[in-house]
Homo-oligomer: A and B are copies of this chain.
């Protein structure tokens, strides 16, 4: 699994004076100048895994390839500055496809004041691959890391979850401005964006902080798409199952000290709703709370890239 590979990689990488945060978080933090650090992240999308070219307008695929990178910058509370775009295009119709991918990226880049600074455009006998690398800049509040959760912290989530396959996976708005606003006005201890599923990404968040998490399952905000999907499909998955495991919500999960969390919940400073879905606990792992207070292990459902052999 990918986690194992990241562990291998971290064991191999020598420390480097310019790298403040290396592999394992949503993005790397590089010492850049006198006081402002740079953040860099890369996300690669492949046909068949992240999109189906037959079924989706290439503009939406291009938009998604950029948006997932902006979401990673958001989860670090970094301001996007520039991206570079590497494409492996199928030979037939590659030029037209490249134009459409960029037509999807350009408006989103403009919305977020992000430059498309360069790229590499290749054709090959395989299917479409898009690798975007985004560079951002931290504010003087520094990075929002996965590793900052404290036992007792409340876990807050933006928006509602599940069913992104119905369209949200392409149309989501990366929570860049929300992250910057909250990081400026409140004391956030840790954060992650939900790319692979709430349960899996929360377990990564608290795992990086050497603690565990209890989710109050009845408080998890479920999207209309998740409800609709549960109703229309016969696979037995409930709306909650979708919210916990679907992934590609690209909402933020934030760990916030209880008093600060109460203030945040009362203020509701964003256009999108913030929901308190649980807390960080001493016992490692992911748990759900029973009405009587007992904790039951919760399986960290979500999407994991399988790496064989």
Contact = CB atoms under 8 A, between A and B. Distances in A.
Interface in A18-33: 18-19, 22-23, 27-28, 30, 32-33
A16 to B, nearest CB: 4
Please give the count of copies of this chain that the complex contains.
Answer: 2
Contact of A309 (B33, B49, B96, B125): B96
Contacts of A8: 99
Report the contact-size class of chain A (Cβ under 8 Å from the partner): 35 or more
A250 to B, nearest CB: 15
Interface string A191-224: 0000000000000000000000000000000000
Contacts of A33: 32-34, 36
A87 B46 CA distance: 10
A108 interface: no
B305 A49 contact: no
B89 A23 contact: no
Interface string A62-97: 000000000000000000011011111101111110
A4 to B, nearest CB: 7
A40 interface: yes
Nearest to A115: B16
Nearest to A45: B122
B41 A38 contact: no
B91 A308 contact: yes
A43 interface: yes
A57 interface: no
Contacts of A5: 95, 98-99, 121
Given A16-B115, A23-B119, A82-B30, A9 B42 contact: no
A12 interface: yes
A84 B124 contact: no
Given A95-B308, A124-B49, A118 B81 contact: no
Interface of A: 2, 4-6, 8-9, 12-14, 16, 18-19, 22-23, 27-28, 30, 32-34, 36, 38, 40-44, 46-49, 81-82, 84-89, 91-96, 98-99, 102, 106, 110, 113, 115-127, 129, 131, 133, 135, 305-309
